Amino acid sequence: MKVAVLLAATALVAGCGSNSGGSPDQPRYDLTIIYWPLGRGGDAGPRSATLTCDPDGGSHPDPAKACDALLGHEDALRPVAGNVACTEIYGGPQLAIVSGPKVHASFNRTNGCEIARWEALAPLLELPG
C-alpha cells in the first residue's frame, strides 16, 4: 500500500499552528490529545495529555518524540481529499482527538488512509495507561 495518502475523511482541521510571525514566547503548537485505546465504548477510558512544540513540553510522556512526529507529518492533520480511494482494511478500535487554538483533528484506524495517518502520528496519539 502506498503511504502517500496520509489523510482521513473524518478529520476536521481548523488550521495548522505556526510560529512564524507570532510571538517568540508562544509555542508552535499548544495541543490537547485525548486517546481511547479501545474506542469510546471499550473498557479502558480515555487518556489525555497536553503537548507544546517548539519549545517541547506539556504532560505528554515523550514530548520530544511526539513533536518530532508532528513536525515531520503536519500534513496528516489535514482532511483527506474527497476523490481519494482508501483500502478497506480495519486496523483496530483506537480513536484520538487532537485539539488546540488552531487545530482540531480526529483519528481512527478504520481504513488504509486513516491507518497511514495514525502511523505517521503514533508517537503523538498513543498515550500509555
Least confident of 30-39, 78-87, 98-107: 78-87
Alpha helix positions (H), 40-85: 63-72
Dist CA 42 CA 93 (whole Å): 9
pLDDT at 58 over 80: yes
What is the share, in percent, of the chain residues with pLDDT greater than 90? 66
pTM of the shown model? 0.77
97 residue type, one letter: I
- How many CB atoms neighbour CB 30 within 10 A? 17
Kindly indicate the confidence band of residue 42, based on its pLDDT and cuts at 50, 70 and 90.
low
The x, y and z cell numbers of residue 4, run together, are: 502517500
Dist CA 116 CA 3 (whole Å): 6
Domains of the chain by range and CATH?
29-125 (3.30.350)
Kindly indicate the confidence band of residue 24, based on its pLDDT and cuts at 50, 70 and 90.
low
Indicate the average pLDDT of the chain: 82
